[in-house]
Amino acid sequence: MLAAPRGFCAGVDRAIQIVEQALTKFGAPVYVRHEIVHNRYVVESLKAKGAVFVKELDEIPDTSQPVIFSAHGVAKTIPEAAKNRNMFVVDATCPLVSKVHIEAARHFEQGREIVLVGHAGHPEVVGTLGQLPPGAITLIETADDARAFEPRDASKLAFITQTTLSLDDTAEIVGVLKERFPGIGGPVKEDICYATTNRQNAVKAIAEKIDGLIVVGGPKSSNSLRLVEVAERFGCRFSVLVERASDIPWEKLEGVTSVGITAGASAPELIVEEVVEAFRARYEVEIEVVTTLEERVVFNIPRDVRVTRTPAEQR
């Protein structure tokens, strides 16, 4: 069973297009701070086209070539440092992550203490924490953290969340916060992104019908790891994360007759096809696509790197 929707979300697709169009428009090298998205295949493909990935800006020589920030977002100090060096910056931050940054700033301006529900060390969380002065945002990772949290003033409190969390875990944590602090402010529309929500719901729809689930995604991809957890929570005997077909643990499939396949939001469909072909090489395979909804979200590419289409292409 192929879960749908799966794979690239609009934010990931936009980030990859930004790098590819920058390379087309300005030539190599194009510099990218951190992995543009959490997928090794995507990163290696872009490297082969001329993208240079760095951990920090000080690894980039003085250049007029584009410097791209990843889809996960960055702390405010990073664009400031780039501006001081007169870098040509292109921000590939997912618009849904930017929305969380704007919410955080709004709560701060209104004098609220902010709680961020997320995973410590994840680039998106690091970037969100870095939007405001130290101490303005408290990170909460679990329901126990939410129970132990003591605000400075419970009447001036708001929460935001990482966009790639488990829907169920987040609901539990937010439920604890709302029970303890009924007046806590929250997002007008939930912060967990549409793609994370849709991919988790698609897995829930097939979990009880399959013996196990293969999740195509990178080990650092938060939304992919959550898919593994959701499958096990909703009835799968086993659920595994694989980067490529060569990672499939065939020994776990002994006696299995039905398997689900999905992909995290930064995993290309090419690898899903590779996994399906690996099954065809070993088994007689019948494919059923289970679609819970159709996604039509598209985000615009920044003008600075947009490659103008020819009249023929526009037609």
Model confidence over 163-190: pLDDT tens digits?
999 999 999 999 999 999 999 999 988 8
- Please report which confidence band the pLDDT of residue 309 belongs to, taking 50, 70 and 90 as the band edges: low
Q: Kindly report the CATH number assigned to the domain that includes residue 256.
A: 3.40.1010.20
Domain extent for 85: 10-94
Position 57 in a domain: yes
Same domain, residue pair 162 and 234:
no
Judgement on whether residues 201 and 227 belong to the same structural domain of the protein: yes
- The candidate with the shortest Cα–Cα distance to 304, out of 60, 44, 65, is 65
User: Same structural domain for residues 222 and 245?
Assistant: yes
How many CA atoms are closer than 13 Å to the CA of 68, on its beta-carbon side?
A: 33
The answer to whether position 299 is within a domain reads no
How many domains is the chain partitioned into structurally?
3
Span 123-137, mean pLDDT? 97
The answer on 106 and 74 residing in a single domain is no
Asked if residue 309 is part of any domain, the answer here is no
Confidence (pTM): 0.93
> Domain end: 68, 94, 120, which one?
94
In a domain, 167, yes or no: yes
Asked if 228 and 255 sit in the same domain, the reply is yes
Looking at the structure, do residues 260 and 271 belong to the same domain, yes or no? yes
Query: Domain check: are 83 and 147 in the same one?
Result: no
**So which residues are the catalytic ones?**
124
Distances (CA, A) of 198 to 160, 163, 232, 264, 293: 20, 12, 17, 11, 8
For the record, the structure tokens of 152 come out as 């400075």
What is the per-residue pLDDT across 241-299, written as a single tens digit (0 to 9) for each?
999 999 999 999 988 999 999 999 999 999 999 999 999 999 999 999 999 999 999 99
**Phi/psi of residue 215, nearest 5 degrees:** -105, 120
pLDDT band at 207 (very low <50, low <70, confident <90, very high): very high
In angstroms, the CA 92 to CA 70 distance is: 5
The total of other beta-carbon atoms located within 10 Å of residue 88's CB is: 17
Q: List, as one string, the DSSP characters of 179-196.
A: HH-TT-B--SS-SS-HHH
% residues pLDDT > 90 (the chain): 94
Write b or e for each residue in 233-262: b if 16 or more Cβ atoms lie within 10 A of its Cβ, otherwise e: ebebebbbbbbebeebeeebbeeeeebbbb
Quickly state the pLDDT bin for 120 (edges 50, 70, 90).
very high
Domain boundary among 129, 157, 180: 180
